Amino acid sequence: MSATGGEVWVAAGTYKPTSGNNRAISFSMRNNVTIYGGFPADGTGTLANRQPASYTTILSGNVGNVNTAGDNSYHIINNPASLSLTSTAVLDGFVITGGNANGGNNDSNGAGIYNDGSNGIICSPTIRNCSFLNNRAGGGGAGILNIANGGISTPTITDCSFTSNTAVGGAGGIHNRAWNGGTSNPALTNCSFIDNTNSTGAVCNDGSNYSGPLGVCNPILTNCNFANNYTRGLGGGMCNFYSNPQLINCNFTRNFVSLGGMGGGIYNEYSSPFLVNCGFMENTALQSGGGLYSYGVDSKPILANCTFQGNAGAFYTGGGICNEGGSQLQLINCTLISNRSEDGTGWGIYNNSAVQLTNCVLWNNGGEKTFAGPTPPTVSYSLLQPDVYEYTYTDGSNNLVTSTSPFVSNTDLQLKAGSPAINAGSNLAYTAVNGPATDLAGNTRIQYGLIDMGAYESAFSHDLTPITYVSPSTQYGTSGFSVVIDAVELNSVASRGAFTVRITKDAKAVLSFSPDVTLIGGKTVQNSVWTFSSADPNYYVLRTTQSVAASDRLSVGLTGTLNPGATGGILAVSSTLLSEGVVETKLTNNVDADKVEYFQQ
């Protein structure tokens, strides 16, 4: 390796910072140096056939007495501020295990890796394909501590796992601290946090103003998984203090917070995270907020395309979500199903602050117990059960009610054919929060012009076709006749938006329209929801904004006089169904005709 950098290839085996028992000795990274693990020990490996999973390369903190962890290294890798690490310092393909940061001050944090970006210095290395296993810290960051105490610590962490790490006073996996005006905005991609024990989540994002100004702590997590983490305090999976993280395609499953703690999946305090396409399943908080707990007047979380399923606030409130202390929470296109709260209040959401639900589906969250708290949430464009009583929420308009599950099954939360949630949401509400182009399953959102309710966008679309009836079918001389058009929905999906029917004019037949009639030619019609115009020289034009229910029909009728004169023949009455704007986009067969045979008197 040259003085200006290069690569270090490390063969399979176990490596320790020291052969002695000095706990303060650690490995360190360097700028412009990529350190690769995962090579065979016989020296035959190349980058092309490197296999970290097969040729395990371990960085171990088990110095001193190998039979006890009490004297293990404080930090297996210590990257002090003096190194000013950038993304050119790369660690790739290692197992980092056995660190024990049980000392004082800095030596109580960052048992696996300690990244120090203090006092105006940067420490932002790149960490890839690494496993952090069985590390322990008396403070936070048993796996990694990123400390930006007046500086910058924003590493890039990709394809890493954090398993069975323990932190007594912070996060067991990664603890990001942006103190005294510092900045810690790590990018985490394809990372997992499994079976960690914590006091503030497997990941903690902290921009608090400890002895100085607030920091900037806005990490971005993409495709990350939090499962079976245990927290004695706040946030089973994640804890946010004065932080605004972004979470994309992340899942929180069976995380648990005890000791009267809150936020089985995520605890949020004076923070405004933005979550898209995330799932919260079977998380538990012994106190409140089985899936999510949010607190503080500066908290403005936004969740889009997220699911809350089977979460529990075990002894208090908010099985799915608990929102308190002035937090302003927005849920857009979220699905809440089968959440519960053992004390009987707020199985879906407990709220004493502002909550807005738009384009959401709520099902089996205790019925009348779905919402609770002194501040009812505002609900718009959402699907509810009939036993979710209106006094428990504020009706923001365009809500629907169903007694039948809208889902494929209790485990598949995609919308089934005929669900009233299909094409029933607000596009504007979704785009206003910069909702993503795909739903939780990766399906294109929006389809067929109007967004669905809930976290999943269906591929189903309504399909309208006209059926034309002329009565009577035989006419003698000048006489009256009628035309009825049924707009029939064929695809078990209710239509949305306006559409028009055009009837071709003929000089021998003059038609008129009355909005008050309900029966024409022996057929029931809904003329009151249609408007009529004869201004077009070629067509009679009828328009409606009325929805056609799934597998149903909407009818309109006209009456008129046929004047054949001194002729006989056949008059074809043709109707055409047309969409308006971008809503009615599927009209597979939009033309129909009927005929009347006429004779001179």
pLDDT digits (tens, 9 = 90+) for 219-230: 999 999 999 999
Assess whether pLDDT exceeds 70 at residue 179: yes
Q: Tell me, what's the pLDDT at 600?
A: 60
pLDDT band with cut points at 50, 70 and 90 for residue 85 = very high
Compute the distance between CA of residue 140 and CA of residue 169 in angstroms, rounded to an integer: 5
Mean pLDDT (whole number) for 292-304: 97
Give 239-272 pLDDT, tens digit per residue: 999 999 999 999 999 999 997 789 999 999 999 9
- Alpha carbon dihedral 145, 150, 151, 157, in 10-degree steps, equals 30
Assess whether pLDDT exceeds 80 at residue 580: no
Q: Tell me, what's the pLDDT at 452?
A: 95
Mean pLDDT (whole number) for 308-327: 93
Peptide bond just before 377 cis, omega within 30 deg:
no
Strands 509-512 and 553-562: antiparallel
Q: Tell me, what's the pLDDT at 464?
A: 83
Q: Tell me, what's the pLDDT at 584?
A: 41
Mean pLDDT (whole number) for 329-336: 98
Q: Tell me, what's the pLDDT at 493?
A: 75
Proportion of the chain above pLDDT 90, given as a percent: 75
Task: Select from 427, 433, 514, 497 the least CA-distant residue to 462.
Answer: 497
Residue type, 122: I
Compute the distance between CA of residue 262 and CA of residue 8 in angstroms, rounded to an integer: 45
Q: Tell me, what's the pLDDT at 586?
A: 46
Instruction: Answer with the residue of higher pLDDT: 334 or 45.
Output: 334
Q: Give the Cα-Cα-Cα angle 304, 306, 307 (nearest 5 degrees).
A: 155
Residue type, 488: V
Q: Does domain 464-599 sit in CATH 2.60.40.1510? A: yes
Assess whether pLDDT exceeds 90 at residue 468: no
Neighbour-count burial for 84-120, b at 16+ CB within 10 Å, e otherwise:
bbeeebbbbbbbbbbbbbbbeebbbbbbbbbbbbbee
Contact 599, 567 (CB under 8 A): no
CB atoms within 10 A of CB 8: 13
Domain ranges for the chain = 464-599
Q: Tell me, what's the pLDDT at 466?
A: 86
Q: Tell me, what's the pLDDT at 427?
A: 96
Assess whether pLDDT exceeds 80 at residue 486: yes
Gap between the terminal Cα atoms of the chain: 108
Q: Tell me, what's the pLDDT at 587?
A: 46
Mean pLDDT (whole number) for 411-421: 91
Residue with tokens 């039948």, as numbered in its chain: 404
Q: Tell me, what's the pLDDT at 588?
A: 54
Beta pairing partners, 483? 470, 558
Assess whether pLDDT exceeds 60 at residue 286: yes
Q: Tell me, what's the pLDDT at 601?
A: 55
Across the chain, what does the average pLDDT equal? Answer: 92
Classified as helix, coil or strand, 44 is coil
Assess whether pLDDT exceeds 90 at residue 39: yes
Contact 385, 363 (CB under 8 A): yes
pTM for this model (two decimals): 0.85
Give 498-522 pLDDT, tens digit per residue: 888 888 888 888 889 999 999 998 9
Assess whether pLDDT exceeds 90 at residue 524: yes
Assess whether pLDDT exceeds 50 at residue 49: yes
Give Cα separations from 326 to 274, 299, 360, 503 (angstroms). 18, 8, 22, 57
Report residue 306 as tokens: 């997220």
Q: Which residues contact 262 (CB under 8 A, 6 or more apart)?
A: 234, 235, 285, 287, 288, 289, 293, 322
Classified as helix, coil or strand, 366 is coil
pLDDT band with cut points at 50, 70 and 90 for residue 4 = low
Instruction: Answer with the residue of higher pLDDT: 459 or 152.
Output: 152
Give 373-410 pLDDT, tens digit per residue: 999 999 999 999 999 988 899 999 999 999 999 999 98
Looking from the CA of 464 toward its CB, the CA atoms found within 13 Å total 29
Q: Tell me, what's the pLDDT at 173?
A: 99
Q: Tell me, what's the pLDDT at 583?
A: 43
Mean pLDDT (whole number) for 528-538: 94
Q: Which range (7-21, 172-186, 199-213) has the least confidence?
A: 199-213
Compute the distance between CA of residue 98 and CA of residue 477 in angstroms, rounded to an integer: 101
